[in-house]
Amino acid sequence: MSFTVRLAAQAALVGLVALSSACATKDSWMGADKEKTYETELNAKRLAEGLNNDDYYEIRKHNSLYVLADAKAYKLFLSVGEIPLMVTKFRVGPNGEKAKYALTKSEGKAMESIVGYKGGAQNLYEGNIPGISKGFFGLVQVEDGSYYVFDNWPALQAFRKSGSATGFVGSAPSGAKVTYVGATSEPSELIAKFAGLHDGK
């Protein structure tokens, strides 16, 4: 074998080793089953990074806390009185209440494949993630049926710690008291959002 041919063979061998190493990395082909598992975990992580933290709904009744992080889920809850897809945790409320955390369909699938996965509602309630800094909407309905409405996450956190808050007072379509926390005058945008959620009910 000539010197030139030996060099070519060595170069080819080095290239093959490099290719084999590259194929063993996390982001490369790992076989059909492992690749599918990896994609499932990756999609779940991407979902988690999405946070689902632009709105928050907490309803306190029947010695339970119903926690949701999606407007559609909240409206469905209002119509059926229960959360279709959820995780229940016991003795987590301030008075030992059990908490029922709503899950979206995507979050439910992620929970099936990732140990310890938590949906947006649970992450918000537990303080693992904050609500978004701009455009946030939050609502807490307390035991007497009255509502507290928020346009920022820190105010909602403060309310959950103290149990009280002040602001512009209005009423729900049902006649229940609604406090728009922190507002000194009629907050038209928040009132519109609240009304849209309740559709005259």
pTM over 0.85: no
Question: Which pLDDT score is estimated for 93?
Answer: 87
Q: Residue 44 forms beta bridges with which residues?
A: none
**Within-domain flag for 198:** yes
**Within-domain flag for 61:** yes
- How far is 169 from 148, CA to CA, in rounded Å? 9
Residue 99 shares a structural domain with residue 124: yes
- How far is 144 from 160, CA to CA, in rounded Å? 16
- Which of 90, 111, 128 delimits the end of a domain? 128
CATH of the domain at 137: 2.40.50
Question: Which pLDDT score is estimated for 201?
Answer: 55
**Within-domain flag for 1:** no
Task: Reduce the DSSP state of residue 141 to 3 states and report it.
Answer: strand
**Domain of residue 150, residue span:** 133-201
**Within-domain flag for 87:** yes
Residue 92 shares a structural domain with residue 64: yes
Question: Which pLDDT score is estimated for 6?
Answer: 42
**Within-domain flag for 45:** yes
Q: Residue 149 forms beta bridges with which residues?
A: 139, 180
Question: Which pLDDT score is estimated for 34?
Answer: 72
Domain count, the chain: 2
- Which of 85, 111, 128 delimits the end of a domain? 128
Residue 119 shares a structural domain with residue 142: no
Residue 95 shares a structural domain with residue 148: no
Question: Which pLDDT score is estimated for 88?
Answer: 95
Residue 93 shares a structural domain with residue 45: yes
Residues of the chain with pLDDT under 70: 1-30, 32, 35-51, 200-201
Long-range contacts of 86-92 (CB under 8 A, 24+ apart): 87/111, 87/118, 87/119, 87/122, 89/122, 92/65, 92/125
**Within-domain flag for 19:** no
Q: How far is CA 139 from CA 21, 85, 148, in A?
A: 52, 20, 6
Question: Which pLDDT score is estimated for 20?
Answer: 40
**Within-domain flag for 147:** yes
- How far is 89 from 17, CA to CA, in rounded Å? 51
- Which of 107, 128, 149 delimits the end of a domain? 128
Question: Which pLDDT score is estimated for 50?
Answer: 57
**Within-domain flag for 104:** yes
Question: Which pLDDT score is estimated for 87?
Answer: 94
